[in-house]
Amino acid sequence: MSQDIDKDRDVMIGLEIHVHLNTKEKLFCDCKVPTKESEVNSHICPRCTGQPGSKPMLTNKAALAKVIKIGLAVGASATKHTNFQRKHYTWPDMPTGFQRTCSGSGTKTTTVGGEFMGIRIEGNHLEENPAAWDPVTGELDYNRSGFPLAEFVTAPDFRSTSELRDWLKEFILVLKYLDCINVEYGIKSDVNVSVKESDFSRVEIKNVNSLTNIVAAADAEIIRQRELCSEGKPVLQETRRYNDELDETQFMRSKENAQDYRFTPEPDLPNLVVSDEMIEEIRATIPELPSAKREKYSKFDLKAEDIEVLVSELYLTEIFEHALDKKLNPREVGLFLRREIPRVLNYAKEDFSDLEKKDIKEEITKLIDLLGSDKIAYTTAQKTLEKLYAKKFDVEKYINDNNLIQVQDDSLIEDLVRKALSDNPKAVEDHKSGNTKSLNFIVGVVMRETKGTAKPQTVNKVLAEVVKEF
């Protein structure tokens, strides 16, 4: 941890964030990573349960690449030679008695340095997750054991919990863009909190899961420390845990009982060597990040909140940028994506992960092409999207087979308007006697005749002209 203390600050918060990486297999065995629905102890083998005599397989390369990718994305540099160490501790969640980690004295973290939204990052390393232990029942679930984690250590640069919230939200979004986070398991973090009133006596809150709880834990701890100070009591340097039901932090252990992890090099794993080629290959897979996309999209006639909805899902940005490449109308396409896709998901009570599973991105892109080039009406695009979400089909074929291409021929619309006016003399009379709404009926007739494929703007324009002749 950085020791430089800015005395002008009211609070100081630092994080040690563990990111669950979205690899297919675990870090040192070929067990598939579980989901939260997996049956207890269903994704295990002698390696990830630490059976006597079992040895780790070679490090999962995808996991290593993902840790490096996150580091590079925040401006860190990759360490070319590093090694796993054994971090010793005795706890039921770790049957080997040690955790394999690229951290601790004696090694270098997987990536070093970097900065994200003004918060300095000190290091980022690969390590294995322990098992899940229930202290009440004593039961162990080894599904999580060996799950690859990236651990990020930030400097204590956060000045408020609102800054912490904004930062975490953006950091998680970047992790999704990088395709590095297992969204179901997300992040967990140790949170270091201190306040000016105690001269920044540091307290650590262990293992807080989720963005909401990390922010709530920091808030609760700041309140606790300030109360102590106002009562003239010292803030002791200690480790605490967050109880989300009571919204308070609780004592775990004091600094005097700080653990000595006795780091030793892991003899069962070869050193990790990362070549320049590998680093450049990984760098090439980093997409344009949300901040750059926001800036790019701000050129279009879209509100900041519309842009935020687009940027919040890489899925939407990909379709939107396809439309930009094709020189389609950014405002029309942007608003359609921003409004209609969340609407359809909301109606189905599903989210973007469900949308991705449906494998209809290409069909949505075709729909956007038809809408953006004015070939179909907005309502046609809306209805087609609903159908598409229910069941995948070929959009172009569907539009053609059902004659849903927008009527481009103004003379056809003129003929239909003329006929509708002749057939409905009452509407014409009402119009002449000053009923401004009577022509809406005629627009409705024409829209029905064209099965909704006439552009309402064109019908209105033609109608305003033709009605003068009556």
Residues lying near Zn ion in the complex (CB under 5 A): 29, 31, 45, 47-48
- Which residue, 26 or 240, has its beta carbon nearer to Zn ion? 26
Cβ-count burial 348-382 (b if 16+ within 10 Å, e if not) = eeeebeebeeeebeebbebbbbbbbeebbbeebbb
Q: Minimum CB separation from Zn ion for residue 43, in Å?
A: 7
Pick 47 or 100: Cβ nearer Zn ion = 47
Give the closest residue to 386 by CA, choosing from 348, 333, 356.
348
- Shortest separation between residue 24's beta carbon and Zn ion, angstroms: 13
Amino acid at 38: S
What pairs with residue 133 in β-bridges?
Answer: 140
Can you tell me the distance from the alpha carbon of 8 to that of 200, in angstroms, rounded to the nearest whole number?
Answer: 11
d(CA 408, CA 233): 79
Residue closer to Zn ion, measured from CB, 31 or 447? 31
Alpha helices in 130-188 (DSSP H): 161-177
Comparison of 29 and 178: residue with beta carbon closer to Zn ion: 29
Nearer residue to Zn ion within complex by CB, 149 or 323: 149
Using the minimum distance from each CB to Zn ion, give the nearer residue, 31 or 235: 31
Using the structure block, give the residue that is written with the tokens 């939204």. Answer: 117
Give the gyration radius of the chain's Cα atoms: 30
In angstroms, the CA 227 to CA 11 distance is 14
Smallest separation (angstroms) from Zn ion to the CB of 268: 15
Q: Where are the alpha helices (DSSP H) in 29-111?
A: 61-73
Shortest distance in whole angstroms from residue 31 CB to Zn ion: 3
Closer residue to Zn ion in complex, CB, 144/240? 144
The Cα–Cα gap between 101 and 103 comes to 5
AA identity, residue 298: S
Q: Least Å distance between CB 146 and Zn ion?
A: 6
In degrees rounded to 5, what are phi and psi of residue 8? -80, -5
